[in-house]
DNA sequence: ACAAAAGTGTTAAACGTACACCCATGA
DNA sequence: TCATGGGTGTACGTTTAACACTTTTGT
């Protein structure tokens, strides 16, 4: 079956299953080897890169829809999600699928609800959908060079801004790091998200004072030099701080 | 024409004009006489209170839709708006209009995009729509007693939480106060939004250091005691601070 | 005169930042 | 033994919070 037939068949099915005019797009952040990455797909149709996204089932919760989509793309359930913006410009997707019938599902005007997700890089097995030639982790610093579809670059950039803002009053890491991690891992994550170096000693104290870390009786062996201590998050405290935030005024 | 006919007629028209399944709801904050108020309407149909809201035209930008709705309800254009959450639970509006046909526009499942707006209380002339018996400012501290429809109470409370959070890194006031105001006015606003007293001297200095205030050569006459100085916002600086930290890479 | 308003001073605590030193330990 | 990691001390500047005092001025 060629692309065209495939797209047109999918279109009919989508009209059956989903709410029209509403889409969700997700910026999935992962962290590995000291670099921040996001999950991107590459369209068969026009070779443009785009965010994992989809549509909301007629009786489905919006958040659930995002989880479903992300499960299909990554094999991970129970992903940490947060809605961060709505992209409702009527022209935002106009140019795509010009050579398809106007009744094509994909040619509707879509209002897209932007989510970001924080996931453990190692748990993810990126899986392209039927209309994409690849789904893979892209290093954040490389995305400027990519040909990105529609307003997806704008969505990505807004997501990162939101994540950085959020970082000042809520911790991250629980969803981005493995269960056991070292202080260097955590600091590296913060440095990557914030895009700047932090002082090690101060970072150590800050984290310690927050009370979200729990030291384990293990070290990470195998590397050169001293084996670093492993930590895990104190889930109770961590979730509390997520709820309350850290107050000013 | 009775309510029923009216609602059914409006339904047909809505199918023509608007995107299905998408609504917008707005928490309009106003400030007067030291108290924070929001704009609420009371439904003719079942006497429940609800937020000013509406639907998005088939070729209309989401933000524009909200502005249009708010213009109809308040007579004010160019309102300060911010999207803060999406309410996408498929059951969120199920119970309403039980005695109407299932094809009624209003009985669709709606995903609602939540906005909050900050407006100058005095510029607003609340106007009920054709299905409401009233549209009026409600003091924030009185809303607990009201019978509020669907999940609108949740929407309101989430809006206030977002506004408070925002207050810690961005100024408010420009959209909530008259052009000319006193320092007490401004401090009262902050105290009301935050729900606690602030120290006058420190507040004065903080505002002064922010550089967003411009002292006028006028005082507010007429009250007892010393006439307070009037200020206005330095719009340049104010808007700069609103943007601050939002760098695209 | 009185009370509200504007503006300033002062102080202690809290916090962020920078740097530097100690010890432990795996290869 | 040396590079890395963990942990702590200390010093400095900035910010915040709390409080108090002064001066101005409208009624």
CA dihedral sign, ordered A69, A72, A73, A74: positive
Name the residue with tokens 């699928």. A97
Record: contact B86-A113, CB cut-off 8 A: yes
Q: Is A249 on the interface with B (CB under 8 A)?
A: yes
**DSSP letter assigned to residue B34:** T
Helices (H) and strands (E) in chain B, counts: 6, 9
Query: How far separated are the first and last CA of chain A, in Å rounded?
Result: 62
| CA–CA distance, A5 with B57 (Å, rounded to integer) | 31
d(CA A80, CA A66): 11
Residues 157-196 of chain A sitting with CB below 7 angstroms of strand D:
182-184
Instruction: Give pLDDT, residue B136.
Output: 96
Mode of pairing for the β-strands spanning B111-118 and B18-32: parallel
Smallest CA–C1' separation from B201: which nucleotide? C7
User: In terms of Cα–Cα distance, which of B147, B163, B150, B126 is closest to B27?
Assistant: B163
pTM of the model as a whole: 0.92
pLDDT of residue B130: 84
**Closest approach of B67 to chain A, Cα-based (Å):** 13
Contact A36, A192 (CB under 8 A): yes
pLDDT, residue A244, reads: 66
Nearest to A161 among B20, B88, B246 (CB): B246
**pLDDT tens, chain A, 249 aa long:** 677 888 899 999 999 999 999 999 999 999 988 889 999 999 988 899 999 999 999 999 999 999 999 999 999 998 999 999 999 999 998 777 888 899 999 999 999 999 999 999 989 999 998 889 999 999 998 999 999 999 999 999 999 999 988 887 889 999 999 999 999 999 999 998 988 899 999 999 999 988 899 999 988 887 778 889 999 999 988 988 887 664 444
Tell me the C-alpha distance between B4 and B101, whole Å.
Answer: 11
Phi, psi torsion values for B28, nearest 5 degrees = -95, 110
Q: What is the pLDDT along chain B (249 residues), one digit of tens a residue?
A: 677 888 899 999 999 999 999 999 999 999 988 889 999 999 988 899 999 999 999 999 999 999 999 999 999 998 999 999 999 999 998 777 888 899 999 999 999 999 999 999 999 999 999 889 999 999 998 999 999 999 999 999 999 999 988 887 889 999 999 999 999 999 999 999 998 899 999 999 999 988 899 999 988 887 778 889 999 999 988 988 887 643 322
What is Dmax (Cα atoms) for chain A?
63
- Check residue A247 and give its pLDDT: 47
Whole-number pLDDT of residue B1: 65
pLDDT at B149: 93
Within a 10 A sphere around the Cβ of B24, how many other Cβ atoms?
A: 26
Q: CA dist B249 to A146, B42, B246, Å?
A: 14, 46, 10
The H helix count followed by the E strand count for chain A is 6, 9
Residue of B nearest to A22 (CA): B22
Between A62, A247, A249, which is nearest B88 by CB?
A: A62
- Strand C atom within 7 Å of B224 CB: yes
For residue A112, the model assigns a pLDDT of 98
Give residue for tokens 């993810």.
A124
Q: How far is CA A57 from CA A15, A176, B21, in A?
A: 10, 28, 11
How many other C-beta atoms can be found within 10 angstroms of the C-beta atom of residue B35?
A: 15
Nearest by CB to A88, which of B63, B88, B169?
B63
Distance from the A162 Cα atom to the nearest Cα atom in chain B, whole angstroms = 9
Residues in chain B: 249
Report the distance separating Cα B153 and Cα B147, nearest Å.
9
Helix, strand, coil shares of chain A, percent, nearest 5, are 35, 30, 35
Long-range contacts of A93-97 (CB under 8 A, 24+ apart): A93/A150, A93/A151, A95/A150, A96/A46, A96/A149, A96/A150, A97/A7, A97/A45
Asked whether the beta carbons of residue A88 and residue B165 sit closer than 8 angstroms, the reply is no
Q: How far apart are CA A37 and CA A53, in angstroms?
A: 17
**Cβ of A226 near strand C (distance < 7 A):** yes
């Amino acid at each position: 079956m060629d692309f065209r037939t495939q797209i047109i068949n999918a279109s009919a099915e989508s009209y059956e299953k989903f709410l029209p005019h509403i889409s969700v797009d997700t910026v999935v952040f992962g962290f590995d080897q000291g670099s921040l990455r996001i999950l991107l797909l590459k369209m068969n149709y026009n070779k443009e890169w785009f965010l994992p996204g989809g549509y909301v089932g007629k009786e489905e919760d919006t958040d659930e829809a995002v989880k479903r989509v992300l499960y299909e793309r990554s094999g991970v359930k129970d992903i940490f999600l947060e809605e961060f913006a709505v992209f409702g410009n009527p022209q935002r997707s106009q140019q795509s699928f010009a050579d398809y019938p106007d009744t094509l599902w994909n040619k509707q005007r879509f209002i897209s609800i932007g989510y970001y997700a924080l996931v453990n890089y190692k748990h993810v097995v990126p899986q392209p959908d039927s209309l994409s030639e690849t789904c893979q982790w892209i290093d954040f610093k490389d995305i400027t060079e990519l040909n990105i579809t529609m307003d997806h670059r704008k969505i990505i950039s807004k997501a990162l801004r939101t994540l950085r803002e959020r970082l000042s009053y809520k911790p991250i890491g629980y969803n981005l790091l493995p269960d056991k991690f070292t202080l260097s891992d955590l600091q590296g994550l913060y440095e990557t998200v914030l895009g700047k170096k932090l002082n090690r000693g101060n970072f150590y104290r800050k984290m310690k004072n927050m009370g979200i870390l729990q030291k384990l009786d293990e070290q990470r062996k195998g590397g050169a030099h001293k084996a670093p201590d492993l930590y895990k998050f104190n889930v109770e405290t961590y979730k509390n701080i997520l709820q309350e935030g850290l107050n000013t005024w």
